[in-house]
Amino acid sequence: MMEIEKLKINYVNKYKSGWHPDSLYSGFTCRFTIIHDSNIFKMMSRVNHIKKVLNEHYGPESKDWFIVRNLKTDRYELYTTSSSFLTMWLLKSEEEYLSLIESFDKHSE
């Protein structure tokens, strides 16, 4: 059995935790904060890699997922309707996942 110690799920209320407005009154229940890099080229490469992987497995950015830059924190955030694919990605390639994702918040009222 594989043990993953670095995965921590933060249970938060999305209405009180600064989530992007497009995620509030919709089916988006997960927010993944992408690891920040002050080098814009590295940051965009990281974001584009995540988009490529999600396009292959979820389909195009739309109703099931989207990535947006949070203007308050200057961080890129990925919003999804389900954590299942990203959890499987973590199990399949822990090192790659942990090199891209800083935190994982799950909506809970």
Quick: pLDDT tens for 42-80.
999 999 999 998 898 888 998 899 999 998 889 999 999
Q: Domain range holding 83?
A: 9-107
Q: Does the pTM of the predicted model rise above 0.75?
A: yes
Residue 1 in domain: no
Count of the separate structural domains present in the chain: 1
90 three-class SS: helix
Q: Please indicate, yes or no, if residue 18 is contained in any of the structural domains.
A: yes
Q: What is the pLDDT of residues 3-50, one digit of tens each?
A: 445 668 899 999 999 999 989 988 899 999 999 999 999 999 999 999
2: its two tokens? 């594989």
80-100 pLDDT, tens digit each: 998 887 888 888 888 888 889
Residue 68 within any structural domain of the chain? yes
**What CATH number has the domain bearing residue 52?**
3.30.70
Q: Judge whether 3 lies within some domain.
A: no
Q: Tell me the C-alpha distance between 94 and 40, whole Å.
A: 24
The DSSP H or E segment spanning 95 is helix 94-98
Residue 31 is classified by DSSP as E
Give the integer Cα–Cα distance in Å for 89 and 81: 16
